[in-house]
Amino acid sequence: MKISNILANLSAAVMLLMMGYCLTACNDDDTSSSQASEVKPEVMVLFSFDGLGDGSYNDQILRGIKLMENDHNQDMTIRFVNPSSMEEAEAYCNSWWENIDTPVDEKGHIPRRLLVLASSDYVDMARRVFAHAEMNINRCVLAFEAEDSGDETEQIRTFGISMYGASWLAGRTARELGCKHPLVLLGNSQNTTTYDARDGFVEGFGKAEDGSEAVVDAIADDWTGYGMPTELYQKMYEYDGKYDFIYAVAGGSNMGAYRYLRENPECGIYTAGMDMDQSPYSTLIVGSMVKRIDLVLYDHLNNWYNKKDLLRYQHYGLESGYINWQIADRYPQLKPGVESNWQTAIKKEKEYGEK
C-alpha cells in the first residue's frame, strides 16, 4: 500500500513537472515571439547628389539624423546614402521597394520601413517609381520639398517649405542697405521649388530710387548648379562692380561666392547665407535664410517612429518656425527693419500661396 502511494505521488509529481515544463516552454515561446516581433524600424535616407559636406542644406539633414539617433540609437536603424546620379538614386528606390517585404531574421519578421528622399530633385522620379505602390505607416516614402500634386490618391508623403516670406524680408533688407543692383542667382533654373525664393526677394526689394529692380539668373539648367562652387567663384569676378547684392539660392555653390567675398572684403557686394547661419564665412553676409530642415526631418522621423501616419502633403512657411530670415550680429541696425516687416512678410507669403 505504501509502495503504491509512493508510486502514485511520484507519477503526480512527474506530471506536474511535465506540465510546468510545457507551460514554461509555451511562455518562453510567446515571450521570444513578442520580442522578435518588435524588430527595429529601418530608415534609409537618400541625400542629394554628392550633397554631404556642403556646409549647408545636406549637412543640416545629417544633423537631423544625428538628433534622431541620439534619442533612439538602440531602437531603430538609420542608414544614409549619397547617390552620384539620378540613375543611381532610382536604382536605390527600386531596390528598396523590391525588398520591402524581406524578413530580417530567421523567424520571418519584417520591420517597419521608411525611405526618405532628401532632395526636391527626387520628387518626380519618386512619383513615377512609386505610382502604384501601396503604402502605409509600416512602409512609407517621404519626399522633401515638393509642391502639392493635388492627387489625393498619391502614395508618397511630401512636404514643402515656402521661402517666399524669408526671401521677401531679405529683399527688403537689401533695399534698406541702399543697394540698387541686386542679383537673384538660382542654382537650377528649372527647379520650380526655388521660384518662391526668387519671387519673394524680387518683390521684397521692389524698385530702388532710380527705378532699378533685382535681376534674376541661374548657374545651370539642372541639378549640377548646386555643386559648382569653383565656377561661381570665377563668376564673381564678373559680378564685382555690376551688382551690389547677390541672393544666391544655389546650395553648395554658394561657398564659391562666400570665398570670393572673404578674399575681397572691399568689393562692396553684400550677400545672404542659405539654409543655415553662414555669417562666419564673410563680413559681407548681412543675414541668412535659415531653414531648419534638421528639425523638419527630426519631427517627421519622430512621428513615424511613434506610428503617427504622415500626412500626404504638409506646407510650412515663415509662421511655422522652420524657416527664418536671420540678420547677422554684426548688422544690428538692420534688425528693427526685419521685426517691423515680419507680419507683412507672413501676409505676403500667404497671398503668394493663394495665387
- Give 2's contacts (C-beta < 8 A, 6+ positions apart): none
Residue 86: predicted pLDDT: 92
Residue 121: predicted pLDDT: 87
Distance CA 162, CA 322 (A): 10
- Cα→Cα distances 105→30, 75, 100, 136, Å: 17, 16, 14, 22
Angle at 322 between CA 318 and CA 326, to 5 degrees: 70
pTM of the model: 0.78
pLDDT tens-digit profile of 193-232? 899 999 999 999 998 888 889 999 999 999 899 989 999 9
CATH-assigned architecture of domain 164-289+322-353: 3-Layer(aba) Sandwich (3.40)
Residue ranges of the chain whose pLDDT lies below 70: 1-38
Residue 74: predicted pLDDT: 82
The closest alpha carbon to 257, from 187, 171, 200, 203, belongs to 187
Residue 38: predicted pLDDT: 66
**Coil vs helix vs strand at 94:** helix
- Cα→Cα distances 348→106, 169, 272, 275, 338, Å: 57, 10, 21, 21, 14
Distance CA 71, CA 68 (A): 5
Q: What CATH number should be reported for the domain whose range is 42-161?
A: 3.40.50.2300
- Give 187's contacts (C-beta < 8 A, 6+ positions apart): 194, 218, 219, 220, 225, 226, 228, 248, 249, 250, 251, 253
Do 325 and 337 form a contact (C-beta atoms < 8 A)?
A: no
Residue 259: predicted pLDDT: 96
For the chain, what percent of residues have pLDDT higher than 70?
89
pLDDT tens-digit profile of 134-150? 999 999 999 998 888 88
Phi, psi at 319, each rounded to 5°: -75, -20
Phi, psi at 190, each rounded to 5°: -95, -5
Do 248 and 73 form a contact (C-beta atoms < 8 A)?
A: no
- The C-alpha cell of 161 is what? 517649405
Residue 146: predicted pLDDT: 87
Distance CA 287, CA 245 (A): 12
Residues making up the chain, counted from first to last = 355
Q: Where in the chain is the domain with CATH 3.40.50.2300?
A: 42-161, 164-289+322-353
